[in-house]
């Protein structure tokens, strides 16, 4: 008590002294116990993609408001989708509201967006500290009083990524009521962070592409592959006839067809996929493309060759990464009263009835509520693969092919999405798994965390306008080759990394005005070290730490290949010499990207048991399935998979 009286007396003396000097009273120092200095405070913290700036307004005892003023977090995950708010919980919106509602920073992180959530809370804590808070008084846990909830629908979709949302829309179109259950705070899954490329033959756009002699060799070589069965032989014969007709016609535009797309996909997967499933995808790719466009999806009007796509039949979304696909689905679902989305809820088991039919699922949300989902028609399993589960990948991989420890390798996937939990649920009800040893790496991961972020547009869809060089300034692989072959080559380079090297030449996109797929400017990429820029090759060599003569010889040799159409590494796609600055080098590494194995399905997406029999009431679509891509998935085929089989799964279960 004496100490407190003494402190008050000293404060009074100070105030009198200041008043005598004509100065204003200083802001009072808050006492322990929650008192704050009223005002508006701001703080910035580093989030997933950049600085997140937060504003906090307080009075003496209360947090009045919290706002995220600036951020570059991934749309649909850390921040709202480009086209309005998204179904579910977005941290830049929900974390501020939860803090104000509960008067504590000890609120739950948004599932699937934990980094952004933690960043916002840290910034709010900074603001409270500025206001003189004792943070211990602002970290009271939020009480959770979970209850048992039962929900009924015709169809329960487990997983709200691309395949799950496509299934929900198509099931509803057949008249079914649908509930989509998503474990993350918002729908989107790994589709949100994909390269947003979609393959299908497109005569109108491919008519603008000239067929070169070098590209023709790709077809000639494919026709020489020894067939593995009669169905494969019949497919080769069909393509051979189409190719002969094309040559006889005198055409010079790019050859393509459903049969050729199928043969490339099957051959490109080492003939290990189930050809009927491959056909289901490739022969319906055009219909899927038209279907999603009918829903409002927009693509660029230029055909390209996506990374690892092997042919110029790749369409690219007009929006950042996979946000175009997900926003299209979300906007359609928002207008459909037959579909309900429940987020932040993890399904833990599928439920069978006495006759062996899957009739629902059980789970729990982040607030402790337990759910029983009853499905009158059945369940769509669309939980994704297991590429982010390093232990699972390492245990199942083909050890002869991948000699490195994949459990220690970064992944391009969202950790919260690709954990393989759907596979455990499926096997618990008797589902058969297939191709579990088939794992794909991708060479587009950044060196920071492996994410598919901050790279110039040509890197993902401009294979004809760049080369790959190692730290010594040397080419080492066919840039238009298979993803697995490129990744195996990358792993043999110094420090297991390489650079995409492009110049200001070419017509895919102006290099300096480019905006990345995740919304970053050329200047931001350079400032943050995601790209290296130089006006000359000599300057580039200095910045990369390699020999200038070696780098120049590498580029000169490639430019000669553009003229001759012949390449030491077997490349067939040439359109652009690298001659004029600025030159741009994008450092990248190989990362675990896609798991080709999963539950075994038939051509109607029905899940099969160990004896090959259909499990009633259970269908599956997307990366949770196996048998479609074989030993190597072509770039751009994953999104086709989600659209074609997602739509088909919804139709099958609804009927």
Separation CA 252–CA 233 (nearest Å): 27
Q: Specify whether the CB–CB gap between 112 and 416 falls below 8 A.
A: yes
Query: For the chain, how big is the Rg over CA atoms in Å?
Result: 28
**Contacts of residue 208, Cβ cutoff 8 Å, sequence gap at least 6:** 253, 303
Of these residues, 313, 482, 483, 571, which one is catalytic? Answer: 483
Q: Distance (Å, rounded) from C-alpha 182 to C-alpha 157?
A: 9
Residue 531 CA to residue 514 CA, distance in Å, equals 12
Contact of 589 with 490, CB cutoff 8 Å? yes
Angle between helices 275-282 and 230-249 (to 10 degrees): 40
Terminal Cα distance for the chain, rounded: 78
Q: Are 475 and 527 in contact (CB under 8 A)?
A: no
Query: Is the torsion defined by CA of 183, 186, 187, 191 positive or negative?
Result: negative
Find how far residue 644's CA is from the centre of its chain.
18
Q: Which of 500, 513, 505 is nearest to 466 (CA)?
A: 500
- The answer to whether the CB of 625 falls within 8 A of the CB of 468 is no
Q: What is the DSSP letter of 145?
A: -
483 belongs to the catalytic site: yes
Return the beta strands (E) in 414-560 as ranges: 433-434, 439-445, 467-469, 497-502, 532-534
Beta carbons within 8 Å of 559's beta carbon, 6+ residues apart:
577, 578, 579
Query: What are the structure tokens assigned to 513, written together?
Result: 């005005």
Question: d(Cα 413, Cα 184) in Å, to the nearest integer?
Answer: 14
3-state helix, strand, coil in the chain (%, to 5): 35, 20, 45
Helices then strands (H, E): number in the chain? 19, 20
Strand runs labelled E in 97-210? 148-158, 178-181, 197-199
Contact 112, 384 (CB under 8 A): no
The structure tokens listed for 387 are 């590429």
In what helix (H) or strand (E) does residue 348 lie, and over which residues does it extend? Answer: strand 345-352
**587 pairs with which residues across the strands?**
499
Max CA pair span of the chain: 105
Q: Which of 26, 89, 39, 643 is nearest to 366 (CA)?
A: 89
Rounded Cα distance, 554 and 552, in Å: 5
- Which residue in this structure is represented by tokens 């490639």? 558
Distance CA 426, CA 433 (A): 9
Chain center to CA of 576? 29
Dihedral angle over CA of 125, 131, 133, 135, nearest 10: 10
The set of catalytic residues is 483
């Amino acid at each position: 008590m004496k100490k407190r009286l003494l402190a008050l007396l000293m404060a009074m003396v100070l105030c009198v002294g200041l008043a005598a000097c004509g100065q204003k009273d200083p802001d009072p120092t808050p006492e322990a116990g929650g008192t704050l200095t009223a005002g508006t405070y701001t703080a910035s913290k580093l989030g997933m993609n950049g600085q997140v700036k937060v504003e906090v307004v307080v009075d003496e005892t209360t947090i009045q408001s919290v706002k995220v003023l600036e951020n570059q977090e991934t749309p649909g995950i850390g921040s709202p989708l480009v086209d309005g708010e998204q179904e579910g919980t977005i941290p830049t919106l929900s974390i501020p509201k939860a803090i104000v509602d509960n008067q504590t920073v000890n609120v739950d992180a948004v599932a699937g967006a934990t980094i952004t959530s933690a960043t916002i809370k840290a910034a709010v804590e900074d603001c409270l500290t500025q206001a003189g808070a004792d943070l211990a008084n602002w970290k009271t846990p939020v009480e959770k009083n979970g209850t048992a909830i039962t929900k009924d629908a015709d169809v329960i979709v487990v997983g709200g990524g691309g395949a799950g949302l496509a299934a929900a829309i198509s099931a509803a179109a057949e008249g079914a009521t649908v509930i989509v259950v998503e474990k993350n705070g918002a729908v989107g899954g790994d589709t949100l962070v994909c390269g947003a490329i979609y393959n299908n033959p497109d005569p109108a756009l491919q008519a603008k592409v000239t067929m070169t002699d070098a590209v023709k060799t790709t077809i000639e070589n494919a026709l020489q592959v020894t067939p593995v069965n009669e169905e494969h032989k019949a497919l080769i014969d069909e393509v051979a006839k189409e190719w002969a007709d094309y040559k006889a016609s005198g055409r010079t535009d790019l050859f393509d067809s459903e049969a050729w797309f199928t043969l490339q996909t099957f051959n490109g997967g080492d003939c290990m996929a189930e050809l009927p499933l491959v056909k289901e995808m490739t022969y319906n790719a055009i219909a899927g493309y038209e279907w999603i466009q009918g829903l409002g999806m927009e693509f660029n009007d230029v055909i390209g060759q996506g990374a690892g796509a092997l042919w110029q039949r790749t369409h690219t979304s007009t929006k950042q990464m996979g946000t175009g696909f997900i926003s299209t689905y979300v906007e359609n679902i928002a207008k459909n009263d037959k579909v309900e989305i429940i987020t932040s809820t993890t399904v833990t088991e599928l439920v069978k009835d006495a006759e062996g039919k899957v009739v629902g699922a059980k789970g729990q949300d982040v607030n402790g509520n337990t759910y029983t989902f009853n499905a009158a028609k059945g369940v769509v399993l669309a939980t994704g693969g297991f590429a982010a589960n390093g232990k699972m990948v390492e245990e199942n991989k083909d050890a002869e092919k991948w000699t490195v420890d994949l459990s220690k390798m970064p992944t391009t996937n969202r950790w919260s999405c690709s954990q393989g939990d759907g596979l455990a649920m499926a096997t618990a009800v008797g589902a058969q798994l297939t191709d579990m040893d088939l794992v794909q790496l991708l060479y587009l991961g950044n060196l920071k965390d492996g994410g598919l972020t901050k790279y110039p547009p040509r890197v993902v869809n401009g294979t004809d306008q760049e080369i790959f060089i190692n730290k010594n300034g040397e080419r080492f692989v066919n840039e238009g080759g298979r993803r697995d072959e490129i990744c195996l080559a990358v792993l043999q380079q110094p420090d297991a990394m390489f650079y995409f090297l492009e110049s200001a030449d070419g017509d895919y996109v102006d290099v300096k005005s480019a905006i990345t797929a995740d919304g970053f400017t050329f200047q931001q990429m350079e400032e943050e070290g995601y790209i290296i820029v130089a006006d000359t090759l000599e300057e580039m060599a200095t910045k990369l730490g390699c020999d200038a003569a070696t780098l120049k010889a590498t580029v000169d040799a490639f430019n000669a290949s553009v003229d001759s159409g012949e390449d030491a590494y077997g490349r067939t796609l040439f359109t652009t010499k690298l001659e004029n600055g600025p030159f741009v080098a994008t450092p990248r590494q190989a990362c675990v990207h896609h798991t080709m194995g999963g539950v075994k399905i038939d051509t109607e997406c029905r899940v099969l048991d160990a004896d090959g029999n259909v499990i009633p009431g259970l269908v599956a679509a997307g990366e949770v399935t196996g048998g479609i891509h074989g030993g190597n998935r072509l770039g751009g085929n994953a999104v086709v998979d989600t659209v074609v089989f997602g739509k088909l799964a919804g139709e099958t279960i609804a009927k």
